[in-house]
A and B are shown apart, each in its own frame.
Chain A
Amino acid sequence: MKEVDIYTFDNKNYVLLDRIENYLFLSNEKNDHDMMIRKIENEDEETLLPLESDEEFEKALLLLVTKKLKEEEI
């Protein structure tokens, strides 16, 4: 078992998969397919802001991909 950060809203728990810069990668604890990327500002970690555009969504995903690729030591 491992301790992780949980964000609770709408009566659902979302596991924090990763944080890169100010982007939070969240996944519903009970549904692996229910995921989202949100961002925080000013270290207010309980206010999850939407991404502003397709481009920002792609940028956030790219950050995650790049990090995972590095971890996998391709």
Chain B
Amino acid sequence: MSDNKDIEIPSFMNNTSRNSERSPRRVTPQERAEILEVDFQRTKEQSLDDEVIHAKKSRKKVSKMSQVKKMGIAFGLGVGVTLGVIGILNKDTIVEIPEHWKERQITNEYLSDLYDVIHDNAHHNSNGYWYDTAGIAQTFHNMIERGVPEEAVAYVTANGLDYVYEEDERDVVFHSLFDATPDEWAKQHGYDSIEDKDLKKDVKRNIVRSEKADEYNQSLTSMLEDNANQMDSNVKGLGGR
């Protein structure tokens, strides 16, 4: 069987909108925990289901980030069970994992939406895949205007288009956005090159810091609203309107 014949278009490519206005989605810690719990139970049930599965194995091209996203969820599942199975790991590891997992989840979720811009602008025809670089650059430009860090966009562009045959598209997007090559942009921002590991670290650190600040602001806003509602109800209770 040929590896690449009759390949279906990956699901992430079904949405081919060229100017997505999507911004990074924020999942609350509670939502994250609920998703994890549901995924965990479902995975467990399917793994233990008595039925022997007879499958057909093949190879296929898929999105790299799609793979990473799934790995992230699977990783979360692993942590979920780890926390539930005290004794398998030693105490130090158990204490250390949750915060790291949370940060990893936050980063993956944030970057996933940026990678999706590339995927949404990837198209398939009889000659293979091609990218709508103008669509990618325009959407990223809009995101930067709305406050998405330039470093995160540069990092995702460089990593989402990092195969040799994607270099031209990567350079076009960089020139459209920053009027520089990837390495020129990196040097302008204090990095040795676009592959400098410090860039990856900075991007992740800034995402975590920003998301945690947002969570704090949301909880503060919620607390102030609760207080305002309480005062309002107290006033009404005293005969106010």
Question: Residues of B contacting A2 with CB < 8 Å?
Answer: 61-64, 67
Q: How far is the CA of A5 from the CA of B79 in the complex (A)?
A: 25
In the complex, identify which listed stretch (B35-43, B134-142, B147-155, B179-187) lies at the interface while the others stay far away. B35-43
Question: Residues of A contacting B57 with CB < 8 Å?
Answer: 5-8, 45-46
A22: Cβ under 8 A from any B Cβ: no
Q: Is the CB of B69 within 8 A of A32?
A: yes
B38, B43, B73, B85: the one within 8 Å of A36 (CB): B43
A30, A32, A45: the one within 8 Å of B73 (CB): A32
Give the number of chain B interface residues (Cβ < 8 Å).
Answer: 51
Question: Residues of B contacting A21 with CB < 8 Å?
Answer: none
Q: How far is the CA of A62 from the CA of B231 in the complex (A)?
A: 50
User: Nearest CB to that of A30 among chain B residues?
Assistant: B11
B220: Cβ under 8 A from any A Cβ: no
A9 CB to nearest chain B CB (Å): 4
Question: Residues of B contacting A38 with CB < 8 Å?
Answer: 47, 53
A18, A32, A50, A52: the one within 8 Å of B51 (CB): A50
Q: How far is the CA of A29 from the CA of B40 in the complex (A)?
A: 18
Q: Is the CB of B44 within 8 A of A57?
A: yes
Question: Residues of A contacting B64 with CB < 8 Å?
Answer: 1-2
Q: Is the CB of B78 within 8 A of A61?
A: yes
Q: In chain B between 22 and 50, which residues have their CB closer than 8 angstroms to a CB of chain A?
A: 35, 38-39, 42-44, 46-50
Q: In chain A between 4 and 44, which residues have their CB closer than 8 angstroms to a CB of chain B?
A: 4-9, 13-15, 17-18, 25, 27, 29-30, 32-38
Query: Provided the pairs A1-B62, A2-B62, A3-B61 are in contact, do residues A32 and B70 lie with their beta carbons within 8 angstroms?
Result: yes
In the complex, identify which listed stretch (B96-104, B188-196, B208-216, B222-230) lies at the interface while the others stay far away. B96-104
Residues of A within 8 A of B (CB): 1-9, 13-15, 17-18, 25, 27, 29-30, 32-38, 45-54, 57-58, 60-62, 64-65, 68-69, 72, 74
Residues of B within 8 A of A (CB): 3, 8, 10-11, 35, 38-39, 42-44, 46-64, 67, 69-71, 73-75, 77-79, 81-82, 85, 88-89, 96-97, 100, 104, 122, 129, 163
Q: Would you mind naming 28 contact pairs between A and B with Cβ atoms under 8 Å apart?
A: A1-B122, A1-B163, A2-B64, A3-B60, A8-B55, A9-B56, A14-B55, A15-B67, A17-B67, A17-B71, A33-B42, A33-B73, A35-B43, A35-B74, A36-B47, A37-B43, A37-B47, A46-B56, A50-B48, A51-B48, A52-B48, A61-B78, A62-B82, A62-B88, A65-B79, A65-B82, A68-B71, A69-B97
